[in-house]
Amino acid sequence: MSSLLLERLHRLAALWGPSGREYKVAAALEEMIRPYVDEVRTDAIGNLIAVKKGAPGGKRVMLTAHMDTPGALALEVSEEGLIQLAPVGDLKVHHLIGQRVVWGSGVVGVIQHEAVDESKDLAFRKLWCDIGARSREEALANVPLGDMCTLVGELQQMGADLITGPGLNNRAGCAVLLEVAEHLQGALHEVAFVFATQGAVGPRGVAPAAYGLQPDAAFVVEMTPSGGLPGGPKVAVRLGEGPALKLKDASFVAHWRLSELVRSVAEAEKIPLQTEINSDVDRTGARAVAAAGYGVPTAALDLPARYLGTAGEMVSLRDLMGAADLLMKLLQGSLAF
Amino acid sequence: MDLASHLADLVAASSITGREEPLAQLLQSEWAPLVDESTVTPLGSYIGLKRGEGSAAALRSLPLPDKPGVLKHPHARPPGPPRVLAAAHIDSIGGMVTAIEPGGFLRFTTVGGVDRRLLMAQEVEVHGARVIPGLVGTKPPHATSPEDRSRLVPVEELYIDTGLPEDEVRKLVPLGAPVLPRFRFRKLQNGRYSSRYMDNRASAAALRVALEELRTLRHTADFYAVGSAGEEFGGMPGAVTATFAIQPDIAIAVDVTFAKHPGSEEDSFPLGEGPTIGVGPNCSPKLTRVLREIAEDLGMGYALEVLPGNSGTDAWGMQVVRGGVATGVLSIPLRYMHTPVETVDLADIRAAGRLLAHLVSRTDAALVEELSCY
Amino acid sequence: MLLEKLSNACGVSGREDEVREALRQELAPYVDEMWTDPLGNLIMRKGDGPVKVMLDAHMDEVGFCVGDITSEGYLKLKKIGGLDDRVLPGREVWVTQRRIPGVLGAKAWHLCSAEERRKAIPFKEMYVDLGCRSRAEVEALGVELGDPVYFATIFEHFSPRVVKGKAFDDRAGCAVLGGVLQGEAHPGITLYAAFTVQEEIGLRGARVAAYNLNPDLAISLEGTGCANVPGVDPKETITNMGEGPVISLMDAAGIPNLQVFNLLVEAAREAGIRYQFRRLTSGGTNAGRIALERAGIPACTVSVPCRYIHTNAALLNLDDLEGAVSLIHHFLRKVEKGEFRP
């Protein structure tokens, strides 16, 4: 396994980069991918697009993972210096209570909630972030209105394969793209690695990117909840059993023949691949990519994860490597579908 | 043309959302004599082009992607005669196999707005390596508590019983295999027919009628008959991307609407008295007026269908492609929507097709000009 | 006054004709060219400088259309856009641009059961009474299915600076845009004023306008919610009437481009214009949709606070409206100086 994968995950997950404020992550990703591609650019909505040229006769393929994480926006500040929040993405109220966050300005804060008697009375507007300021003026001097915060914490390895911490969704997807960029050799096809913006609130950034590239095929790498835990999501996908090929979710149906190609390559190369037909998951970027311009045949390769949207997200390094490996094998083939 | 028999062929084809290939291919072969050329788009939509008089339009000259970097598109309309697009979505709701369980029972999920009240004991077809008949299995009444009997079983608790042993099921049925209601095409009285998938094969049949009728009409406009993929679920990417490629001046969505039957109240229309013409923000007012005029000139019955927002058809997506398109909605009344016994009147299909053909015939540069003049 | 003319004009989503006409007449002297597109957007161009800026304000208002005409001569309505059922019964309406008068009838209080009196009247039970005795009489008036129905609200001043009218969402935005066009020229900019359609039913007109114009940046001008009124916690007022134009932090459709946002804030500060942020992130505006057109367009939203939007009558403070016009001018000057770097 590439030792750079772990290092990249640590670096990427630690970066502040909520939806609409991805510039720091984009800068780091640009630095990390530059040695492996021929051209890097940023578009008007902040997507980072890195292109590795192909050979004549090759197709144009888009590989995409959104680089933003969900968080919260500073909407107002009380007289006592407590910051009132609005959600950016789908973080749940109870996952934020007591959590440490970091703001774009670099300031650290803690999130708390008004005292309530019952959990049904929990509400986002009753949360606040305490940065230790003693007045409204002091708070605003450290966190301007419109700034955003994200969960902060070090990634921890658990055993040989699992890793946990905040920010894995979707930096793990970005790390997979970096793996492919680094190790892809001798591909016929032109590959555009698109690190997209506003995926946690979207899909948003990914649509103009697909429009601009008009690829012949696209693969979207995102995270999906894994099941098998009592009281957890009732889904078939399991952590550690390989990436999951998503055929359908709440708003998207994958391109069948492209998905069949993914399945057959996984089988031929003996890469464990799960099938995901999860009707509850929404917001996938694949839907927006497929509808761009003349239409793009799109497949969705998901990374199983536990506890998405919390400070303790969990992924399997083996699943990430499997996804990267599978994508590489696809790109090294004829991509006929 | 034997419309009933063509409709039966269309309904027999398997084409759930995301798996429209069999029907797209059927259209390519069945409609070949009626169009000048045809193709299937990357997302699986069928496009058939019938050129206007003197037109040199060709599908292969649809603008192709540019070199890497920024995709350039002209925003002025392309030169040449007016372009009329009519889209009838070719995908249908259905199911998809999600798991194979011990004993060979199949678990499935629904694709699109399937009426879940009708799933129990439904006869289905599973499209794997071959078409396999099955039944949606249920617990027998004596094993069901009184409370359970009035409760709808969630899809996750249903299963399909094919009667086959597990190892054979595993060989024949991949995960994601389409599940359809069993095909049966029933002739009722008075030119009415009942079957699965009249939503939206009735509209595809109407496009066929339009193509036939156009052989007898003069038209300078190019007509693009689109069998759009992906309407029932997933945001209409088929119609939207086909519209993007074709850059039409007019785009009409041909779909089905609710026909009156016992218990239907507002928003339903008589069966057999003609198609409905949409009025509302999703329908260009001038186009609505033109369609009404044509219907009246032809002595054709029709009803106005008030659509105050999203029409629930391909027109919603097509209207806002590129720099905007003048759209209309033409609908065929249908009873029992999204059930295996959808019922339509052939007369309504013929009328809709005829109206469409006459719209194409009526479309000229002056009308196109008028559509952007407000 | 432009706002008065626009507020009194009738234009539900899809039938913006009267508003379009009023804008054409009032603003023709100030612009270089005007045209409409297949959806009915009205686009005006002023200037031909190197930077292309699109300013959008939507012409449509929420309202109704005729869904059914009963045999007894009443109209059943369908809503166009989002409306709170509780503000509808007992209102006067106009049917079509001809302003055929009608009333939104409701069962007399005296005839209601105790339980009915406690609940809001469901929309399904509402109807419009034109005084007709049969369907034939309604049709003889020329009223058809799909015809638009409006609140019959006349614009007026409550005080020298506070005005009342219908459809301030988004005639206020249109008035701001009109004010910008009527003001100083910006030779370094090609200014596209896009008066757009069908915002209320899904942000539709602006996206096709943006596709066509392909600007370097865009600002949507809106009338936004404002609730500095009794019973509302100060931190939940969204915006405050009288405290200046509003710059959006984020809404349901989009997160403003950071550069455009920062430039707007700087422009306000440098010009000494009192401004505020919109303290609500739900509700979408055109800017979010414009941002995703083509290969992406930097966009943000500036609004005028309006109390009671999406009802039959709203209030706004002209100081806020004029502040918005001034803010845009200062912003455009900064763009001319090259301070926006794409």
pLDDT tens-place string over residues B97-127: 999 999 999 999 999 988 888 898 899 999 9
Q: How many helices (H) and strands (E) does chain B have?
A: 10, 17
pLDDT in tens, C178-211: 999 999 999 999 999 999 999 999 999 999 999 9
Question: Residue B212 pLDDT more than 50?
Answer: yes
- Model confidence over A245-263: pLDDT tens digits? 999 998 899 999 999 999 9
Backbone torsions φ then ψ of B125, nearest 5 degrees:
-120, 135
Q: Among the listed ranges A162-171, A232-241, B148-157, which one has the minimum average pLDDT value?
A: B148-157
b/e A265-282 (16+ beta carbons within 10 angstroms → b): bbeeeebebbbbbbbebe
Q: Does the beta-carbon distance from A60 to B68 stay under 8 Å?
A: yes
CB of C199 within 8 A of CB of C150? no
What are the structure tokens assigned to B374, written together?
Answer: 């407000």
Residues A141-197: tens digit of each pLDDT:
999 999 999 999 999 999 999 999 999 999 999 999 999 999 998 889 999 999 999
Least confident of A156-170, C71-85, C116-130: C116-130
For residues B2 and C228, give the distance between their C-alpha atoms in angstroms, rounded to a whole number: 68
Least confident span in A222-236, B186-200, B217-231, C10-24: A222-236
User: What is the distance between the alpha carbons of residues C104 and C73, in angstroms, rounded to a whole number?
Assistant: 13
Using the predicted structure, report yes or no on whether residue A225 has a pLDDT greater than 60.
yes
Number of folded domains in chain A? 2
What DSSP string describes B63-127? PPP-SSSSPP---SPPSSS-EEEEEEE--B-EEEEEEE-TTS-EEEEEESS--GGG-TT-EEEEE
When mean pLDDT is compared across B147-156, C163-172, C174-183, C305-314, the lowest value belongs to B147-156
Q: Is the pLDDT of residue B206 over 80?
A: yes
In one-letter notation, the amino acid at residue C328 is I
User: Quick one: pLDDT band at residue C110, thresholds 50, 70, 90?
Assistant: confident
A82 and A63, same structural domain?
Answer: no
Pick the catalytic residue: C199, C222, C243, C293?
C199
Q: What is the least distance, in Å, from the CA of B245 to any CA of chain A?
A: 6
In A, which residues are within 8 Å of C258 by CB distance?
20-21, 23
Please identify among residues 138-157 of chain B the ones whose CB lies closer than 8 Å to any CB of chain C. Answer: none
Which subunits sit against B, judged by 3+ Cβ pairs under 8 A?
A: A, C
CA distance A203 to C304: 29
Element (H or E) spanning B243, and its range? helix B237-246
Q: How would residue B67 be classed by pLDDT, with cut points 50, 70 and 90? A: very low
Contact A75 C297 (CB under 8 A): no
Does A160 reside within a domain?
A: no
Q: What is the pLDDT of residue A2?
A: 64
Give rounded-to-5 percent helix, strand, coil for chain B: 30, 25, 45
* Half-sphere exposure in the Cβ direction for A56 (13 Å, CA): 0
What per-residue confidence (pLDDT) applies to C237? 86
Tell me how close the Cα of B240 comes to any Cα of chain A, in angstroms. 7
| Domain's final residue, options A151, A174, A202 | A151
Query: A218: domain CATH number?
Result: 3.40.630.10
Classify residue B67 as exposed, middle or buried by CB count within 10 Å of its CB (0-12, 13-18, 19+). Answer: exposed
Other CB atoms closer than 10 Å to residue B36's CB: what's the count?
A: 15
- CB contact under 8 Å between B238 and A236, yes or no, is no
Burial label for C272, CB within 10 Å (0-12, 13-18, 19+), is exposed
In a domain, A161, yes or no: no
Q: For residue C252, how many other CB atoms are within 10 A of its CB?
A: 13
CB contact under 8 A, A145 and C277: yes
The answer on A172 and A138 residing in a single domain is no
B231 is catalytic: yes
DSSP structure string for A179-244:
HHHHH--S-SSEEEEEEES--SS-S-THHHHHHHH--SEEEEEEEEE---STTS---S--TTS--E
Q: Coil, strand or helix: which one is C165?
A: strand
Q: How far is A169 from chain B (nearest CA, A)?
A: 23
Q: Which residues of B72-110 are buried (b: 16+ CB within 10 A; e: fewer)?
A: ebeeebeeebbbbbbbbbbbbbbbbbbebeeebbbbbbb
Cβ <8 Å between C65 and B284: no
- Residue C14 to residue B280, Cβ atoms within 8 A: yes
Same domain? For A106 and A175 the reply is no
Q: Looking at the partner chain, which of A60, A247, A294 has a beta carbon nearest the beta carbon of B244?
A: A294
DSSP A318-333: HHHHHHHHHHHHHHHS
Among A91, A121, A151, which residue terminates a domain? A151
For residue C160, the distance in angstroms to the closest alpha carbon of chain A comes to 31
Predicted pLDDT at A1? 53
SS3 content of chain C, % helix, strand, coil (to 5): 30, 25, 40
Task: Report the length, in residues, of chain B.
Answer: 374
- What's the average model confidence in pLDDT over A109-122? 94
Residue numbers in A near C257 (CB within 8 A): 45
Q: Shortest CB distance from C294 goes to which of A78, A87, A208? A: A208
| Dist CA B254 CA B276 (whole Å) | 10
Indicate the domain borders of chain B.
3-92+196-371, 94-181
Average per-residue pLDDT in chain B?
92
Whether A176 maps to a domain, the answer reads yes
Q: CATH assignment of B94-181, given 3.40.630.10, 3.30.2130.30, 1.10.3720.10, 2.40.30.40? A: 2.40.30.40
Cβ(B204)–Cβ(B349) below 8 Å: no
* A247 SS3 class: strand
User: How much is the pLDDT for C117?
Assistant: 80
List, in order of start, the domains of chain C with CATH numbers. 2-61+166-336 (3.40.630.10), 63-151 (2.40.30.40)
Distance from CA of A331 to the nearest CA of C (A): 25
Work out the minimum CA distance from C211 to partner chain A, whole angstroms.
12
For chain C, the average pLDDT equals: 94
Say whether the ipTM exceeds 0.95: no
Q: Is residue A158 in some structural domain?
A: no
Please state the three-class secondary structure of C108-133 as a single string.
Answer: CHHHCCHHHHHCCCCHHHCEEECCCC
Residue C305's contacts (CB-CB under 8 Å, 6 or more residues apart) are C224, C225, C226, C238, C239, C240, C241, C242, C243, C246, C276, C316, C317, C320
My answer on whether A280 and A236 are in the same domain is yes
Q: Specify burial of residue B165 (Cβ count, 10 A radius: 0-12, 13-18, 19+).
A: exposed
CATH class of B3-92+196-371: alpha beta
Q: Which two tokens stand for residue A245?
A: 């090929």
- Put simply, whether A256 touches B (Cβ < 8 Å) is yes
Which residues in chain B have their CB less than 8 angstroms from residue C198's CB?
281
| Angle ∠(C208,C212,C217) on CA atoms, nearest 5 | 90
Residues of C with CB under 8 A from a CB of A: 235-236, 249-250, 254-258, 261, 277, 279-281, 291-298, 342
Q: How many CB pairs under 8 A join A and C?
A: 69
Q: Which amino acid is at B255?
A: D
Q: Are strands C74-80 and C127-129 parallel, antiparallel or unpaired?
A: antiparallel
Under the banding of pLDDT at 50, 70 and 90, the label for residue B73 is very low
Residue A228 and residue A196 share a domain: yes
Whether residue A29 lies inside any domain: the answer is: yes
Query: What confidence tens digit (pLDDT) does each residue in A45-82 have?
Result: 999 999 999 999 899 999 999 999 999 999 999 999 99
| Rounded CA separation B29/B10 (Å) | 12
CA distances from B157 to A301, B133, B139, B340 (A): 27, 20, 10, 21
- pLDDT value of position B293: 98
CB contacts of B99 in chain A (<8 Å) are 236
| Residue A115 and residue A226 in contact, taking contact as beta carbons nearer than 8 Å | no
Task: Determine the pLDDT at residue B70.
Answer: 40
CA distance C313 to C167: 7
CATH number at A75 reads: 2.40.30.40
Which pLDDT score, from 0 to 100, does residue B63 have? 56
Lowest mean pLDDT among A238-247, B149-158, C82-91: B149-158
Contact C65/B308, CB-based, under 8 Å?
Answer: yes
**Percentage of residues in chain B with pLDDT exceeding 90?**
81
Q: Of the given ranges (A30-39, A282-291, B126-135, C26-35), which has the lowest mean pLDDT?
A: A282-291
C-alpha pair distances (Å), B78 with each of B42, B245, C213: 22, 11, 17
Q: If you average pLDDT over residues B220-247, what whole number do you get?
A: 93
Contact C68 B285 (CB under 8 A): no
- DSSP character at residue C73: S
Do A20 and A41 lie in one domain? The reply is yes
- Using CA coordinates, name the residue in chain C closest to B371: C38
B374, C17: Cβ pair inside 8 Å? yes
Residue from C247, C279, C292, C340 to probe the interface with A (highest A Cβ count within 10 Å): C292
Torsion of CA A43, A44, A45, A51, to 10 degrees: -10
Interface of C with B (CB under 8 A): 13-15, 17, 20, 36-42, 64-68, 76, 78-81, 144-146, 197-198, 201-202, 204-205, 207-209, 211-212, 214, 294-295
Indicate yes or no: CB of C65 within 8 angstroms of CB of B324: no
Question: A295: which chain B residues are within 8 Å (Cβ-Cβ)?
Answer: 41-43, 45, 237-238, 241-242, 244-245
A44 with A10, same domain: the answer is: yes
Structural domain ending residue among the three candidates A121, A151, A181:
A151
Residues of C in contact with B321 (CB under 8 A): 208
* Average pLDDT over all residues of chain A: 95
**Chain A neighbors of B18, CB-CB under 8 A:** 247-248, 253-256
**pLDDT band of B230, cuts 50, 70, 90:** very high
Instruction: Write out chain C residues lying below 8 Å of B73, CB-based.
Output: 294
Against chain A, the chains showing at least 3 CB pairs within 8 Å are: B, C
Q: Which residues of B touch A212 (CB under 8 A)?
A: 69-71
Yes or no, beta carbons of B70 and A212 under 8 Å apart: yes
- Strand, coil or helix: B197: coil
Domain span at A139: 71-151
C36 vs B283, B309, B373: nearest CB? B373
Mutual angle of helices B3-12 and B198-214, in 10-degree steps:
140
In terms of domains, do A63 and A77 share one? no
d(CA B286, CA B283): 8
Q: Each residue of B120-132: pLDDT tens digit?
A: 889 999 999 999 9
Shortest CB distance from A212 goes to which of B71, B111, B244? B71
Q: Which of B231, B273, B305, B342 is catalytic?
A: B231
Residue B68 banded pLDDT, cuts 50, 70, 90: very low
Is there a single domain that holds both residue A213 and residue A284?
Answer: yes
CB contact A198 to C (< 8 Å): yes
- The reply to whether A253 and A322 lie within a common domain is yes
**Given A214, A256, A275, which is nearest B71 (Cβ)?**
A214
pLDDT confidence band for C342 (50 / 70 / 90): confident
Grade residue B71 by pLDDT with cuts at 50, 70 and 90: very low
> Using the beta-carbon criterion (under 8 Å), do C212 and B75 form an inter-chain contact?
yes
- Residue C91 and residue C76: Cα distance in Å, rounded? 14
